[in-house]
Structure 1
Amino acid sequence: MNSERKTLGQLALRTVIQLLFMAYAASLIYPFIWMLINSLKSNQEFFMDIWSLPKEWRWDNYASAWSSANIGKYFFNSVWMTAIGTFTSVMCAAMPAYVVAKYKFKGSNIVYALAIVGFLIPTVGTFGPWYLLMQQLGLFNPLGVMLGYAGGIGFNMIILYSFFKGISWEYAEAAFMDGAGHFRVFLLIMLPLARGGIVAVCIFAVIGIWNDYFQPFILLQDTSQYTIAVGLANLVEVQKYSANYTVLFAAMWIAVLPILIAYLFLQEKLISGFAMGGLKG
């Protein structure tokens, strides 16, 4: 009898927890649905009732956002910056992670310790020196943004360090016996063996760079070079005066849709990759 009551109690508790998580998930999803519904209304209809379904589905709002609001230009700027930034950030993290994990030299532990200590330094405290450095180097342009993403010692390095640490060195020794050099071993053997971590870090980098607002906002002074995050912020300021909010909602959906699709299809690889890296570390 007591065991039955205990089982019923556990079932009730589990049900309550599941309902709470479902309610929390609905609270996260609903703003996107609301934004989608209102992006398909006319501006007049939006101000009449922000909660109703569209009487006429205005798909041309997306065309207006793409062309007249310059979201298309911002979108392609984000695409190429995200592609290059992801490649450089992952490779610049993979190389030091591999060297520190697999080669013993004086100071290797210090390099790893610096990567850990970097998390303890408040980012706000580095804004002033960083701004002056970029100003003196003349990097208020896309090149400056790309260099900012190429920092190798950080979160990506720590994750990849765990993966390389768990790979047997026998693979490299066999390749060395066949005449392969160090860089060839890294590129053709170690990187493929660490592909779980590489994929996870790439996904994380794509999401972070696509959504990054601070660096492009500070360093990109030409509006034609704006990324979609900065372009949306600029569009919000414009819409304060024109009050064409339906086009703004359409632009927001264009901005978030690629990341939502990427996360929906790759979330398992992202979670499993980080979990594997943590277990190996």
Structure 2
Amino acid sequence: MNESRFSSAVRAAKKRKTAKSRSERIVFVVVFVLFFFYAAALVYPFLYCLNASLIDGGRAFMRDPVGMAKPPKFANYLSAFSQLDVNGNNFFAMTLNSVWFSFGGTILQMLFTSMAAYVVCKYRFRGREFIYSMVIVIMMIPVYGSLPAQYRLYSRLGMVDSPLILLAYCSGFGMNFLVIYSFFKGISWSYAEAAFIDGAGNIKVFFSIMLPMALPAVSAMGIMGFVGMWNDYLTPILYMSRTFPTLASGIFLYEKKIAYTANQPVYFAGVILSLVPVMAIFLAFQNKIMSNIYAGGLKG
């Protein structure tokens, strides 16, 4: 009697396990298909752009914009250096503008964000909680709603069509603030107290002790910020397009200028060339970015 009950219980457990494994396989297949199509949707524009950049002549592109490049014309990439021109700025000038805009903006943004996050996290003063709450509230305001007032302010300050536009990245708030703030929370204040006992001041403690300890999070956010600024075309179009067009904004403006003309393959070649630096940086530091963000999230 007991043996029959035991065997029936075993059979019931096997049936439940089989049904569970079958449902898990169905869920896995559905999720895999969804992610496959999502990945394909992300990769397809890049492959299309790469193929279009190798088409021999704009007329061939106009006849068959989705056809394969037969034979591929790699000379389009050389033509991009000479033909891509926006307001007197060639491809090399726009590349230089992208370099100083991305590097300068990233350095200023990370420096001021780190200082703001450190002060709000480690110092006790009146209004500290209010500042942290305002950071979250400001992030909820749509950026497009503040653009008219922002442009008017920068114009009156003489920051439009000037390298002074980099000062706009000295605000010190945003998503980077929250990430670095959470990282500073995981750093013990005893290090700073020991430095104060040895005679160090607040500035020395920050730059010599606390900032190096938070460098993993700061560097990870800095790399992501650099990639974002390199690809940003809205800010350069609004504030720098007449004098200092970057690659992102310049190629966008060039595409509007040559619409429905014979230079489309050269345009796509310029797009591919503009992607090379950020792709190289991301591929070189992708493990560092993900590991440091994960570590920062755990410490927060």
1:140-159 correspondence runs (5 A): 140-159=160-179
Cα separation, 2, equivalents of 1:239 and 1:138: 31
2:294 counterpart residue number: 275
Tell me, in whole angstroms, the C-alpha distance in 2 between the residues paired with 1:54 and 1:217. 32
Give the counterpart of 2:125 among 89, 97, 105: 105
Of 100-109 and 116-125, more deviation after overlay is shown by: 116-125
Match of 2:48 in 1: 34
1:221 shift after superposition: 4.9
Corresponding residue of 2:30: 16
Which of 69, 73, 86 is the matching residue for 1:54?
Answer: 69
Aligned equivalents of 1:248, 1:221: Cα separation in 2 = 18
Identity %: 38
Aligned amino acid, residue 25 of structure 2: L
Q: Which moved more, 1:245-254 or 1:152-161?
A: 152-161
Equivalent of 1:198 in 201, 205, 218: 218
* Distance in 2, Cα, partners of 1:267 & 1:208: 14
Identify the match of residue 259 of structure 2 among 240, 246, 249.
240
How many residues align? The count is 280
Paired position in structure 2 for 1:177: 197
SS at match of 1:50: coil
Report the residue type matching 2:72 in the other structure: W
Question: Which residue of structure 1 aligns with residue 93 of structure 2?
Answer: 73
The alignment's TM-score, normalised by the length of structure 1, stands at 0.92
Q: Secondary structure at the match of 1:53?
A: coil
**1:109-148 counterparts in 2 under 5 A?**
109-148=129-168
Matches within 5 A, 1:250-269: 250-269=269-288
Q: What RMSD in Å do the two structures reach over aligned CA positions?
A: 1.9
Q: Show structure 1 runs of 5+ residues with no match.
A: none
Say whether the 8 Å CA contact 1:145–1:215 is kept in structure 2.
no
Give the greater-gyration-radius structure (CA). Answer: 2
How far does the alpha carbon of each residue in 1:52-103 deviate from its partner, in whole angstroms, 9 at most, with x for none? 4322322221111122212222122101110010000000100011111111
SS of the counterpart of 1:240? Answer: coil
Output the CA distance in 2 between the equivalents of 1:215 and 1:36: 26
